[in-house]
Structure 1
């Protein structure tokens, strides 16, 4: 037997170059795992040892990634025992399946908590050929490891019975004790899975319902900020301060176009810059984006409220966006409402009633209804309202 202690910081990949007849290698407590992580050339370290029968690399801080670099191809036909105990393995090394004469494997006191399908296949391939020592590993007897536990009960490997595993409660038990009530354990796992699924589904539904309720309640706010972000992504910049492109954005229903055309003519004749969808909206851009852009670019907003307007979906949408913008920018006094068709305040949309106390309201009376309310007085009121900052 040859035994040699070498400091890891001095180990060389060619240290075993002249030891081709070496049969026993005991390299415990030498921190080889760290050496392998620091020197990727050590994968040829054991290559010269073609007659190696017994390998002991216990207590070396090996991890599974390190052991994968331990090239043992030249020992596939000769190695008889492998001691990798007290390391940091959390997976069964895949090279075990290639050894033809391996009769003893010690991988005790590592970090195995379960075996996946490939690892179970490796263990099964060793049954009847090699004794495998697994004591001292932190196996978990939990619902997430149910497949592993069922395999451990059914496999012909006899060494599982006396091993310990930790229940979800933190209590330790032997595999043999667990196997006695594994069916009940499995049923409890299924019940727990359904309970978790039900709670998760219920929670998801509640969250979804709450989100829908919040969205419906504050839909306009969501849409307003969505449009804001969308315009910002298009590199649209809001105008600062009093730098407005228009004095007024006129919102109306298209059934009232003849009256609006004349109204617009009177405003432009008085040197007010007006914004109308027909002449100022950008072709090809979404209507909602055009509306928000017009609101942003106008010092005042005029709503021509008629029977047709009250029935219009876009009319209510324009009001909601205006309300959001006015609240966001602190410009609640930017709205002017012109009421036609002998409408009353009670007929106004809810969204308009919410900030009615900030609105400037001007009534348009047909000449036959109120002779003393002349058209000139109406326009004087409009011009005066538009002139207020």
Structure 2
């Protein structure tokens, strides 16, 4: 026979209309059907919930099948060892099967006991667990070595497809599963069409192919893109030959914000449907690797403008952006669309409410002059005016002068406001300069004097005068001094080393500070008790105000902040503070170096 179609043959209901009639297929029901050689067998929407071994999957001539449809029932093919092995036998003998449809199957089962002879668990020498199933001829279903992880094991299912299978459909397979599995698919060289849309799962398997495959069409709608989008290596081989892909309701908008680069997985895609994904943004380089893309469907999303990313598609013939939130088309996209002529690019924009205001008047003009083909030949798209009322763009173009004549007056109003703002911007600084001219003059003089001093590079005997207390002498002599003199090549004055014997110490300090370019005070616990420190501070303050001392730098540790003398606090606005870190690191030296070589304040 050519076709046997049993669709909705069990229409009786139990308990009023609440529950559909449930059928358990028995051997007796299949007595005659099993003997028939038939091309197409359709047992769809017949309320099948279970079947006896040797019934639904047992036939005398399975090689006759070309199309089998079990869609819309409620039974499992792997509920126990016997059914699983029977399904393996069945698929291995359907050598001419072209189409297999097992979609819309709302079964739910858990805690299945496969039997002790179905799966064996052995601990090998490496501490891993080995799982093996019974084999049927040369067609094993499962063989995997994995490590246990959180009481779950990753199985590898090896699936050998019928050698001539072209279309496989598991759409709306509604059994929730979070099983962590990998798939090895054999004999997939003739498979062209794969539909796994709305297949409920919380884990996307790693997929391998034993040999070449040429899957050209795939429907993955309803499967969260985050499950596979970021697992580039796991799914790349699955998508590499796709020319048509349907990916509706895969939460792609959220996935893109998370770094998903799903379009990179589709190098030869020609027809792509990513509608109903709540997308509002696309990176500019989103379609960098999709040069063959001709048809792009992005309707029912949240775009407020046409994504710039589409301008990279040199072969695009059809762009569907219906039912988004697009208000206008910017100048960049308009120029790109005009450049597509005479390539006959079709742009569908129905369901968007455009904006007809002064800001978009150029877009309204362009809409009726461009040669781009739209889904509405009359170009009568919905259009909202500035007062909130909705008309259509055809009416807006016909009454263009009446609707947009006020836009020029708004332009002149903007010019007038701009001139007033410019006047105040110029007048206020001039008034400030006149009011504070002497302070400004003194400030400029001070800055000019410092610049001149820096330019002339006044010759001083010392670059740095060092002041420290007795308890920090060791660190200053052994760490700070070598850094200044040997590493940074500066000439340093240290009283204990450079003051002449017999010379008055107060006079020596005064002369040394006056002949130094900078003064560094190293504050420690004994600093407040240092008798000459206050004199050095007073002298440094005098030299900075009256002569040519450039910088007063105070180095203190976090624990020594309370030891700073009051005399330094009085001139703190003229001091550069350096807080020394507790550990010996380069941060303190870098801060000190920046303080010494930075521009004068």
TM normalised by structure 2 equals 0.33
TM normalised by structure 1 equals 0.48
Which has the larger share of helix?
A: 1
